Structure 1
Amino acid sequence: MNRPKISQMEAYMIETLRTNNVTNEEMIQDVKEKDVSKWQKLNEKFDFEQLIVLAEKGFSSFEQAINEGYTVKFVTVNGLDRLLRLKFGKEPEKDYQRLQTGVLGLNIDTSSLEELKHMLSLNWKVEEDKSGVSVLLKGQGDFD
């Protein structure tokens, strides 16, 4: 399945809504009605109107991103850290070791790992070993 590609900021917004118990159906309906003002209180810094703009580019792709998952076009190291917290509830030093080039020893279940692999942009390499999962920028770390 080809997942729709979205920006890192759009992923933050979607996962922030999910963290605040906004359902997929509510997200889709509110965006369809172009009424996202009630979300502003969830994060004052986000411009949730961007999700309306995303949907206007292709509503079926937007629905697919919400219901079936998405790939983030380009994920930074800080973006990886934030997505691990928002989407998977993982905390640095507790669930993984944070590096300048990614993370090591990530403790994550199989289905979440598969979702993470699908979400990440092509500049990341994900590997499993006895210490957990490592997610490193390609061209960095021990494996290239």
Structure 2
Amino acid sequence: MGNNMISMMDAYMIETLRSNGLSNEQMVTLLEEKQISDLERINTKFNFNNLLKLYEQDKDIFKSVLQDGYMVKFLTMNGLKNLLQMKFNKVAEQDYQITDTGIQHLEIETKSFHTLKQLLSINWVIQENADTSNNTSNKIVDIHIV
């Protein structure tokens, strides 16, 4: 994978489709066939024509975004919270605490750590917390804006 950079809104659309059961292959097929109405049935709030444009710009890069992951070009605090919920099913004040500069004590599966680290834009730093999880397959991390 190169450095697949996408907008926060593109990430929202992809993760919304995934959380509604669409596979990567189904997404590609619907975009290839320009079946935007099928995507809009899943979520009427998004303009999936923008996702179609991203797909049509470079189909191989889009497929890499789906398969290999992506970095959000510029991630806001609310964007981070939303992606944590959409992608990892993590909820603020339940699964982590909000601070003035980010979040702390997020417990995440070790296998998801790389994906989380990869999607953060360059304005965020992730640190493994000295506190350890009781579950050895999880990490506790803090994420702060720089």
Indicate whether the TM-score tops 0.5: yes
**Runs of 4+ displaced beyond 4 Å:** none
Q: CA deviation at 1:41?
A: 2.5
Aligned positions of 1:1-144 closer than 5 A: 1-131=1-131, 132-138=140-146
- The answer to whether the 8 Å contact 1:15/1:86 transfers is yes
TM superposition shift of 1:130: 2.9
- CA drift of 1:98 comes to 1.6
CA displacement 1:84-122 (0-9 Å, x = unmatched)? 000000011111002242110001011211101111111
Supply the distance in 2 between the matched residues of 1:70 and 1:30 (Cα, whole angstroms): 20
**More deviation, 114-123/127-136:** 127-136
Query: Deviation string for 1:60-98 (max 9, x for gaps)?
Result: 100110111111111000000000000000011111002
Percent identity for Structure 1 against Structure 2: 43
TM-score, structure 1 normalization: 0.91
Unaligned runs of 5+ in 2: 132-139
Q: Structure 2 length as normaliser, TM-score?
A: 0.90
- CA distance in structure 2 between the aligned counterparts of 1:3 and 1:32, rounded to whole angstroms: 23
Please, which runs of 5 or more residues in structure 1 have no aligned partner? 139-144
